[in-house]
Amino acid sequence: MLPEPISRELCQKLDAADPLSAFRGRFQAPQKDTIFLDANSMGAMPATVPDRLASFCTDAWVELRRQGWNHFEWMERPYQIGQSIAHLMGAQPDDVIACDNTTVNLYKLLTYAWRVRSSGNVILSEDGNFPTDLYVAQGLPNALVGEPTIKICNSRDELIDRIDANTAVIYLSHVDYRTSARWNMADICQRAKEVGALTVWDLSHSTGAIPVDLMGSDADFAIGCGYKYLSGGPGGAAYLWVNPRHADAAWPTICGWMGHENVFAFATQYAPHTGAWRHATGTPAVIANEVFSCAADIWRDVDATLLWDKHKQLGNLLIDTLEQECAALGVTINTPRNYDERGGHIGFSHEGAGPLCEALLDAGVVGSFRKPNALRFGLGALYLSYENIWETVERLKHILNTESWRQAKYQKVSV
């Protein structure tokens, strides 16, 4: 709790002292008076994107076409983007690449982890893992050598209890996409190591928001979404990371020409690139990567410690302001209050959260609704101000006080 009652003036003071405030200007603000609290779904657009795309269309595509493969950085973008975001996850620059989507990267690294495992035959996960993560695992026994057993636990306690000598791979979302509950990565990695198991982490709801320390935690593999907290653009490339100790252990599962040691040799025989880059597959998503590059230009300039600290302060402020202003109106925080136990978004419960979410949208506050009664606010620390938090809660309070959100029109759209 802050030392004085929270007010707009206090938030303005916090903004005036914000060492990251200059970054707000590097993202495109909406014309409407909208506050986007949707970084868990879609990060803000870097301000350079429109010009980059315009010049791409005319200079790179229309005028140069296939020469673009040589004249521009099309082929290097996956590595440049990886290098630009690696510090946000405690990784070395060359161990991260931006490629494919999250699901495909999950498949590539989970199968790779299975193949380079030291022992065990069980892949252990929990039902709080994002659905596509679970689906990827469930599909493995149909195709993968070695007869993996997939065990999806119903609770975190159960998962910890089940870690034993039969465990080959522990496969988790670092932060739960619903509850924002964060795993203690270092603890799980330690438990895994004690039984000879490997860890695969989905960082989609972590990287760019909260501290991630892959090397310090001695994790084995990680992947994540590029378009949430990282602002890589709708449907932009995901990323993957491989601990250097595994990087040259085996061929990738999907052997493609972008993972070849010499891409443009057009050799008949596959030979893997050294390191994590072997997990690149086919032609990079050139246009999409131009967009993600605009975000990478920003991330290169970001001190991760300052980012994490601001995200923490924004989250604490949001929790405290919701409690101060709206607790009496039925708002109950439903994500961890303890900072070390939560991820990128703050959530709360309120009856009729569906219609409430729609009423907030009408009032220019973009959050996301989850059945039956939960709302999530994902915090993009580079472009949100402390005053945005105050204003968000003011609008919520106004809606709750006027009861306008119970109107039929909101009921209709939130089934």
Q: Does 261 bind a second copy (CB under 8 A)?
A: no
Of the residues 130, 177, 239, 292, only one is catalytic, namely 130
Is 66 one of the annotated active-site residues of the chain?
no
Count of CB atoms situated within 10 Å of the CB of 257: 16
Find all residues with CB under 8 Å of 350, minimum gap 6, and list them: 330, 331, 332, 356, 373, 375, 400
Nearer to a second copy, 177 or 386 (CB): 177
Nearer to a second copy, 101 or 332 (CB): 101
Minimal distance, residue 172 CB to a second copy, in Å: 15
Minimal distance, residue 413 CB to a second copy, in Å: 10
C-alpha angle 324-326-329 in degrees, rounded to nearest 5 = 135
Sheet holding 345-349, edge to edge: 332-333, 345-349, 374-378, 368-370
Q: Can you give the length of the chain in residues?
A: 415
Distance CA 341, CA 176 (A): 11
Distance CA 339, CA 331 (A): 19
Give the containing element (helix H, strand E) for 310.
helix 304-326
* Beta-bridge partner residues of 126: 153
Minimal distance, residue 77 CB to a second copy, in Å: 9
Site for a second copy in 82-121 (CB under 8 A): 100-104, 107, 111, 115
Site for a second copy in 286-325 (CB under 8 A): 286-289, 291
Find all residues with CB under 8 Å of 263, minimum gap 6, and list them: 75, 257
Nearer to a second copy, 38 or 320 (CB): 38
Note the helical H segments in 169-213. 185-194
Nearer to a second copy, 10 or 298 (CB): 298
Distance CA 339, CA 330 (A): 23
Q: Does 58 bind a second copy (CB under 8 A)?
A: yes
Q: Show the binding pattern over residues 138-177: x = contacts a second copy (CB under 8 A), - = does not.
A: xx--xxxx------x-------------------------
Cβ atoms 202, 137 nearer than 8 A: no
Nearer to a second copy, 16 or 65 (CB): 65
Minimal distance, residue 342 CB to a second copy, in Å: 20
Q: Does 24 bind a second copy (CB under 8 A)?
A: no
Note the helical H segments in 263-303. 286-299
Count CA within 13 A, CB hemisphere, residue 218. 12
Of 10, 14, 44, 172, the residue at the interface with a second copy (CB under 8 A) is 44
Is 18 one of the annotated active-site residues of the chain?
no
Of 244, 256, 275, 352, the residue at the interface with a second copy (CB under 8 A) is 256
Is 228 one of the annotated active-site residues of the chain?
yes
Q: Does 260 bind a second copy (CB under 8 A)?
A: yes
Nearer to a second copy, 191 or 205 (CB): 205
Count of CB atoms situated within 10 Å of the CB of 334: 18
State whether residue 355 is helix, strand or coil: helix
State whether residue 380 is helix, strand or coil: coil
> What is the Cα 354 distance to its own chain's centre?
24
Q: Which stretch binds a second copy (CB under 8 A): 39-47, 299-307, 332-340, 346-354?
A: 39-47
Q: Does 69 bind a second copy (CB under 8 A)?
A: yes
Distance CA 279, CA 366 (A): 36
Is 130 one of the annotated active-site residues of the chain?
yes
Of the residues 18, 100, 176, 202, only one is catalytic, namely 202
Q: Does 20 bind a second copy (CB under 8 A)?
A: no
Minimal distance, residue 394 CB to a second copy, in Å: 21
Task: State how far the alpha carbon of 67 is from the alpha carbons of 60, 70, 293, in Å.
Answer: 8, 5, 20
Nearer to a second copy, 150 or 215 (CB): 150
C-alpha angle 306-10-14 in degrees, rounded to nearest 5 = 15
Number of residues that bind a second copy (CB under 8 A): 85
Minimal distance, residue 267 CB to a second copy, in Å: 6
Nearer to a second copy, 208 or 284 (CB): 284
Q: Does 233 bind a second copy (CB under 8 A)?
A: yes
Active site residues: 130, 202, 227-228, 376
